[in-house]
Amino acid sequence: MTVSVNQQVVFITGSASGLGRHLTGRFAEQGYKVVATDINYSALQACQQEDAWDSAQVWIRKLDITRQSQWRSVWQAVLEKWQRVDVMCNVAGYLLPGYLAETAFDQIDRHIDINVKGLMYGSKHAAETMVQQGSGHIVNIASLAGIAPIPGIGLYSASKFAVRGFSLSLAQELKPLGVAVSVICPDAIETPMLTLQEDYEEAALTFSGGRTLRVEEVADVLFSKALAKKELEITIPHVRGWLSKLGNTVPAMTFVMADYLGRLGRQKQQDRKLAKP
């Protein structure tokens, strides 16, 4: 049975900033019912006021995605309120640059708990509900850093490799049951997470691309390729995606290119700082 857009429910993590915030407003504009979640509830409240999210359509909920008990509580509340979830957008993420030899052990836990386990918890709840419905779509946000390894943000890169691998395998499990899975691997997006990396030399390679993406561009791709066409893996931009896959195919190439890309990235970091008022 086809469910009209205004009856469909979208669950989004990381709704208080960046891509998650933009997607919350974008889905609401399209007529979806939206469950907007974030660990920072006061920031969610501010977003709802500043972006004029209709509380009858956008339901904000506090959610620490690393805690199974909170997932169970929020998910059950959503099903009691709206009886279904049609689209699951796992957007929330975490990144702190650093070389492993200089990184605290708790940063290993934090990257894996948020970027991998939190996303898996969300996918697990979505899969159970969507299989029962016989329909649904899980959209996981990975990164080009999950295709080609990026030194200096190795924990983030490893976590996004895990997201990509998990998503591709999950897609094979759920497709016969009527549930689609898409994994989106964007280059650097202009968000607070990117701004944070400006002051870390370790993150220079993050800035080595031609330009940074806007959240609007990523949202456009999510709607036009993931939801509309149910594409499995989407890289943004497409050319950088293929270059990342080439680099991953021949890992030794990264050593050859590292110095050049590092210098390029450091210059762009500096340019971004100088451009600020």
For residue 147, the one-letter residue type is I
CA angle 18, 204, 89 (to 5 degrees): 25
CA distances from 72 to 22, 58, 86 (A): 25, 20, 17
Report the side by side order of strands in the sheet with 233-236: 58-62, 33-38, 9-12, 87-90, 136-141, 179-186, 233-236
Tokens 């650093």 found at: 98
Q: Do residues 85 and 9 touch, judged by C-beta distance below 8 A?
A: yes
Q: How far apart are alpha carbons 266 and 80 in whole angstroms?
A: 50
**Which residues are within 8 A (CB) of 272 and not within 5 positions of it... i.e. 6 or more apart?**
198, 207
Q: How far apart are alpha carbons 8 and 54 in whole angstroms?
A: 16
Work out whether strand 179-186 and strand 233-236 pair parallel, antiparallel, or are unpaired: parallel
Q: Is 213 exposed, middle or buried (0-12, 13-18, 19+ CB in 10 A)?
A: buried
Residues with a known catalytic role: 156
- Count the neighbouring beta carbons within 10 Å of the beta carbon of residue 124: 14
Dihedral over Cα of 105, 109, 111, 116: its sign: positive
